[in-house]
A = this chain, B = another copy of it.
């Protein structure tokens, strides 16, 4: 959840930024879909993972608040040596260490689309990444860094968003006269595969060209119910990347919910979201 936001925070540009301060707590409270999808994907895919070495060293790219890294830890063989959660945002890293760190689970700062530190090269047996790559612009660089971080025969597993009706709702607002002023950078917000034909073919080719042995790259059609309108508003607030004034933020949320209602996606089960999730599984 963090790459683009913090890129914006770190730069001195005039682009709207996201205040990651309190939002890490809110994200931690509200990112149930991320935890749910990670659990489901690991249940489906972990029987296929190849724990070819004992005392494995594992990297979780884009560990955010740390809660998903902790879910990942429950799927690891008990003898793993270390699980490093890495995130571009130092505030996320601190929150994760404070709340989820322990003897074997540690969180560090890393920009996966930047320069890979020498001590991370060929250092890991497994790299994971959940719900992160839709925040990253330079996939080729990030995938190459992951390839270089893996030891020979190492394994990479990732999930990230493609189409999502949350992006669609945001786009519908971003292109209105009322909200366009506050969302000039909308195009940078959604997954680069939000509006993309056959992303599986494109991503598989990129991974092959980098040198990966591609086992599976696929689009999963998924449904999720946010349990209530309030929870849905919380997640929109936690991932907000737009510089919308605080005094009209609740209006923005109301209009976002109205779009869901117009699509008949709000009912007694909560707020439904339809989205496509990319799943990547490959080896070095």
Contact = CB atoms under 8 A, between A and B. Distances in A.
B223 A197 contact: yes
A182 to B, nearest CB: 17
Contact of A197 (B200, B221, B262): B221
Interface residues of A, number: 26
Interface in A133-180: 162-163, 168, 171-172, 175
A264 interface: yes
Copies of this chain, whole number: 2
A93 interface: no
B221 A162 contact: yes
A220 B219 contact: yes
Contact of A218 (B44, B195, B200, B223): B200
A8 B221 CA distance: 29
B221 A196 contact: yes
A172 B263 contact: yes
Contact of A264 (B175, B197, B198, B276): B175
Nearest to A175: B264
A221 B199 contact: yes
Interface in A236-284: 262-264, 274, 276
